[in-house]
Structure 1
Amino acid sequence: MKREIEYITIDGRGEHESFRDCITKAIQDLKPNQGIHIIKDFEPFPMYKMMEEKGFDKRVEKVSDEEFHVYFTPKPELETMKISEYLNLDDKKIKGIIAIKVDYLRGNISLEEAKNELRVSFDKVTAQEFALCEQYLEQYGISDDVLAERMDEILEIFDGVLVGERLEFPPGHPIKTYLNEVKAIRKVLSEMKGMQDKKFIKNQWAEVYDKLGEINIHFARKQNQLFAALENKGFDKPSKVMWTLDNDIKDIIKKAKIHLENDEDIEFLKLQDEVIEMVEDMMVKEEEILFPTSIDILSHEDFVKMRQGDDEIGYCLIDTPPEFGEAKKEKENASNNELLKDLASVLQKHGVLNTSPNNEVLDVAQGKLTLEQINLIFKHLQVDLSFVDEDEIVKFYSDTKHRVFPRSPGVIGRMVQNCHPRESVDTVEEIIKAFKSGEQDMAEFWLEINGRFIYIIYNAVRDDNGNFRGVLEMMQDVTHIRSLTGSQRLLSWNTKK
């Protein structure tokens, strides 16, 4: 987190002999979270190296040609992060890489200076080292907004130094699936490049954009499955930064499709280079940084669990991959369990077997239901439900076939803030804050997506004593409901909902 620093001011204008002694004494007397504010009538270049060697960062403000203010801040000690447990990296090298990134992002050095310093200091930087440094930047006051906006510049610093690995995995491995999708997406980009110099035919472009639109599935699975697994290991930068870049791509694809549908051919074609560049750039970030880092951080068991939830969201431009690892055995076991369940039902019917816990009758608020009946009710509701508890952790979502937005098992146990793009987090936190304080009990939203009208409502969940226990999100596609007029009093099986 960004630290609040109290600065000790030393006005050195006109002073020469005693000035250095004042600085030395101030450094010795500094308390935690204190820095030194120097005022001079010239820029004190000789001090910079000395203060850097003593462990200080600097920020310079030029008031006039005769007045300079320099703020020296003790470099923060890196707080050990959870992610470090899974990466065996050189701490000294990590600190060196961070120093170059921070100096550049604060404007202390130019892009070329940062590139040269990196090349002089390091022969190569791995994807894992790059990713860990990104995670630490927040401790230096570098926000996620800055990272998202300047990621291309940061990557340019590492051009030629950042090394990737050739990733090879068995069929069905989630990373193998992502790489197969990247290959399929690149095939679409190649098709787009070939069409740019040919005669414009709207239907051909529409077909290509239908295929390109499947990238949303790639992003959805990445955001709900891979990001969730990485967060559990303490690596949350992808969900905070890369999610924003994903949304930028979705927005420009949507913008291009609007031009195409409105027969704005010139405007549509002008966007194609940018669309191709942005999508290709994301594929490179995934291949060179996200996927190699994921391999080092996540375990075999993590990927097996991930594979079990991937089908629920679907796949981009490829067929459903085969099962992976123990998931295949579990699927076979599930099939056997179904046979055993059928046998148990027959035995229960004839009184040979006691009722299973799944069929145990439970006292609910209004009635008596078995656990099986409760799950079936949730599964057949014509509204999507999600529940976040009082600690802001996702605990439940309804397993319906008609979900408006994708969900997968990876969301369970995840902080709700990480289930939303960075741009929406402030709204999420505002809702939770108002619910917790008792100021509000409900928030509603509605939006139109691809011709569908979506209604969303959030309710504060409170116990009988009025204590806040969580947030219930209810979401429904109400396009059909909005179209209804008059009355229907007779049964009609032909009405499609």
Structure 2
Amino acid sequence: MEKKEILKEIIKRLHQGERPEDLIKEFQKEIETITPAEIARIEQELIEEGMKPEEIRRFCDVHLAVFRESLKRPGISPPEWHPIAILLKEHECIISLVRDLDPEKLSRLKETEKHYLREENVLFPYLEKHGIVQPPKIMWAEHDEIRRREKEKDFRALPDLLMSHFYKENNILFPTALDVITDEEWYEVREEFDGIGYFAFNPPPPPPAKIGPGTKPVGMIDLPTGGFSKEELEAILNTLPIDITFVDKDDTVRYFSQSKDRIFVRSRAIIGRKVQNCHPQKSVHLVNRILEDFRNKKRSVAEFWLNLGGKLVYIRYFPLYDKDGGYLGCIEVTQDITRIKQIEGEKRLLD
């Protein structure tokens, strides 16, 4: 039996209730040589073969109990500027906030949201581009659990929850990321990290990249009612009082505008990402329903609104079709309508 199949067998038997120590004894040779990337890929393959992600997540700690010895190799130590080094240091900062349940420190937990946003909107998409899809979903689900505990002020549960979560990231997810993401891509990841920002410290800048970004030709964009340059189009889209995200006919994110006061975090790492992976798993079925309705022309808009940090946010999705009615994709339009709701009477140009 191949090593990969043996490791799958170990995980399946763990889920059937066999004791970790018995499996360690039986498969000691195979366990000693397993790498973090192999664990991540095997868990992913099991999900693709039908095992529920919730079950993988529920048994993650049991998996680690078996593979802990193989993970005791020298830890990862990327340079200080590196995105993974930043995340590792932030893990220590977050643990320091919850370790002794000090109310003043706990009040700072809301600042840590940027940590999770950077992982979900930058690191996870890059992992997905390299075929690591399911482990990020499991980690995102744990992020949501952490958020829920914080919102409910269930602070006593946080130390153990965070320690377990960070152990998985430090020993499986991050080494896997270092294994599959290229040096050039790490510069891109860092740029996107900087765009979202940090909560505990300002990391040192990266050294000059050895490979610079490619250049794209600049020319006029001609449309039936006029035209403009690429720079003009970009300025127009970024100046509109709405946030726009374009998802193509294959459900792939292709573009987002960069307005000054963007409501929801977006990073260039999501370009090329399936839109389903941009949402928590609990809402993916709703996303798929909307997209299917758009394809079948069952609706011309999907709209939602919510109160967010004192703002009334209006979110609409519109399908796009070519001149022959073929589905091209859809756009998400997000707008802060707080001031619009307050408008009364009239105000004319000359007033």
TM-score (norm 2): 0.90
Pairing 1:117–2:38 present: no
> 12, 35, 46: which is aligned to 1:102?
12
Cα 1:471/1:324, change in 2 over 3 Å: farther
Q: What is the rounded CA distance, in whole Å, between the counterparts of 1:133 and 1:194 in structure 2?
A: 37
* Partner deviation per Cα, 1:328-373 (whole Å, 9 max, x = no partner): x859x99xxxxxxxxxxxxxxxxxxxxx964x54333433322211
CA distance 1:290–1:419, change in 2 (3 Å): same
Matches within 5 A, 1:169-318: 169-190=78-99, 193=100, 195=102, 205=103, 207-256=104-153, 271-318=154-201
**Which residue does the alignment assign to 1:393?**
252
Q: Which residue of structure 2 lines up, in the alignment, with residue 402 of structure 1?
A: 261
Pair 1:487 & 2:342 matched: no
Deviations 1:443-473 (CA, angstroms, capped at 9, x unpaired): 1112223333221111111112111100100
Q: What amino acid is the match of 2:285?
A: D
User: For the Cα contact (< 8 Å) 2:98–2:158, is it kept in 1?
Assistant: no
Distance 1:166 1:389, change over 3 A: same
Whether the 8 Å contact between 2:47 and 2:134 is mirrored in structure 1 is no
- Residue type of the alignment partner of 1:120: E
CA contact (8 A) 2:98 2:155 kept: no
Shift of 1:240: 2.1
* Cα contact 1:119–1:161 (8 A) shared by 2: no
Q: How does 1:324-339 map to 2 (within 5 A)?
A: 324-326=207-209
**Cα distance 1:315–1:304, how it changes in 2: closer, same or farther (>3 A)?**
same
Q: Residue 109 of structure 2 aligns to which amino acid in structure 1?
A: L
Counterpart contact for 1:304–1:325, Cα < 8 Å:
no
CA distance in 1, matches of 2:27, 2:184: 37
**Aligned partners of 1:161 and 1:431: how far apart in 2?**
44
Structure 1 position 248, deviation (Å) = 1.0
Displacement after TM superposition at 1:491 (Å)? 8.3
**Counterparts of 1:304 and 1:369, CA distance in 2:** 31
Distance 2:295 2:101 in 1: 55
**Does structure 2 conserve the Cα–Cα contact (< 8 Å) formed by 1:392 and 1:416?**
yes
- SS of aligned partner of 2:108: helix
Q: How far 1:425 sits from its partner (Å)?
A: 1.3
Aligned to 1:322: 205
Contact residue 101 and residue 156 of structure 2 kept, 8 A: no
Greater relative contact order (CA < 8 Å, ≥ 6 in sequence): 2
Q: Which amino acid aligns with 2:206?
A: E
Supply the AA of the counterpart residue of 2:317: Y
Which residue number corresponds to residue 466 of structure 1?
325
Could you list the runs of 5+ residues in structure 2 that have no partner in the other structure? Answer: none
CA separation of 1:405/1:210 partners in 2, compared to 1, >3 Å: closer, same or farther? Answer: farther
Of the structure 1 ranges 457-466 and 318-327, higher mean CA displacement relative to structure 2 is found in: 318-327
Aligned-residue offset at 1:324 = 4.2
Structure 2 CA distance for partners of 1:320 and 1:480, relative to 1, 3 Å:
farther
Q: Deviations over 1:21-80 (max 9, x none)?
A: xxxxxxxxxxxxxxxxxxxxxxxxxxxxxxxxxxxxxxxxxxxxxxxxxxxxxxxxxxxx
User: Residues of 2 paired with 1:490 and 1:164: CA distance?
Assistant: 71
State the shift of 1:414 in Å. Answer: 1.1
Q: Secondary structure at the match of 1:387?
A: strand
TM-fit CA distance, 1:291: 0.8
* 1:227–1:119 Cα change, 3 Å: farther
The amino acid across from 2:269 in the alignment is G
Q: Provide the rounded CA distance (Å) in 1 between the counterparts of 2:28 and 2:265.
A: 42
Equivalent-residue separation in structure 2 for 1:186 and 1:250 (angstroms): 15
Does structure 2 conserve the Cα–Cα contact (< 8 Å) formed by 1:385 and 1:472?
yes
- Aligned-pair identity in percent equals 30
Does 1:149 pair with 2:149? no
Counting matched residue pairs gives 347
> Alpha-carbon deviation of 1:161?
5.2
Amino acid at match of 1:316: F
* CA offset digits 1:368-421 (Å, max 9, x no partner): 322211100111121110001111111100012211111111111111111112
Query: Computing the radius of gyration over CA atoms, which structure comes out larger, 1 or 2?
Result: 1
Checking the alignment, whether the CA contact within 8 Å between 1:128 and 1:296 is kept in structure 2 is: yes
**Counterpart check, 1:364 vs 2:247:** no
AA at the equivalent of 1:142: M
- CA-CA distance at 1:232 after TM superposition: 1.2
CA-to-aligned-CA distance 1:180-210 (integer Å, 9 cap, x gap): 21122122123xx153xxxxxxxxx3x5344
Partner of 1:432: 291
Query: Following the alignment from structure 2 to structure 1, what is the Cα–Cα distance between the partners of residues 52 and 143?
Result: 18
**Closer/same/farther in 2, CA of residues 273 and 491 from structure 1, 3 Å limit:** farther
1:478–1:241 distance in 2 versus 1, CA, 3 Å: same
Distance in 2 between the 1:426 and 1:324 partners? Answer: 43
Offset at residue 243 of structure 1 (A): 0.9
Aligned AA (1:241) = I
The residue correspondences of 1:12-27 to structure 2 (distance < 5 A) are none
Rounded Cα–Cα distance in structure 1 between residues aligned with 2:288 and 2:165: 28
> Does the Cα contact within 8 Å between 1:311 and 1:320 map onto a contact in 2?
no
Q: CA deviation at 1:148?
A: 2.7
Q: Secondary structure at the match of 2:2?
A: helix
Q: What secondary structure, in the 3-state scheme, does the structure 1 residue paired with 2:261 have?
A: coil
1:382 aligned partner, one-letter code: P
